[in-house]
Structure 1
């Protein structure tokens, strides 16, 4: 069951949602999550790519210019974790200080996961969410 009423809304007593919030992407992500099959253990090339993607997304959130952009980057990370499920490895210990490098690593790692772990649609949703977070970070 998908609860679309809660997707993209703010908690009571908080400020209204930002303009341009990607509720359609949230709904698409929820649909893909509801159709998940049994968990598949992560192995081989998927684990390092996942760890690199998680580390890069965390670095982007840490270096975001505002709290809304940081939340958007974290939403990408949470969606990625939800797609992978319990098989998600910890983020790598590599420190990425440069946001441009982190962005390139996040994109590269997400594309690598398309080959070994995620569907093309899941990767495209994550990349669009990443682009939206970047737009909020730059804007």
Structure 2
């Protein structure tokens, strides 16, 4: 722990925090979720947008809400559709941020509502090694009941 700091841990949010909110990633994510809901559930675009907001507000993520409500949605299918089409090329490397994170002596925990694959792609684009963080909180760690020992969804 740093001698001059009362904090022994730093919680770092990934999305729209480590990379700028003006990259368009957040807007693309919302669009992809809406399109997934339209395709998977057969709802209108307007209903999909309203569902996305309500699911996030109530369950912390759209996917967690869909699963809690009993929809037949596989996390891998969802994440592949929603994150697999994001414009990651808009995230620029940030060597200064990488150096700053490395210099923080406190325990560092990275948070994202998204899956581990999204986190790894975003960090790679930023030029930040995931090993800079002492722990990671992501979809898989928040929903361990959905995954077996190897991180795959239980049948």
Task: Calculate the TM-score normalised by the size of structure 1.
Answer: 0.30
Structure number with greater CO (CA < 8 Å, separation at least 6) is 1
Indicate the structure (1 or 2) with the bigger Cα radius of gyration: 2
Task: Calculate the TM-score normalised by the size of structure 2.
Answer: 0.28
Q: Specify which structure has the higher proportion of strand.
A: 2
Q: Specify which structure has the higher proportion of helix.
A: 1
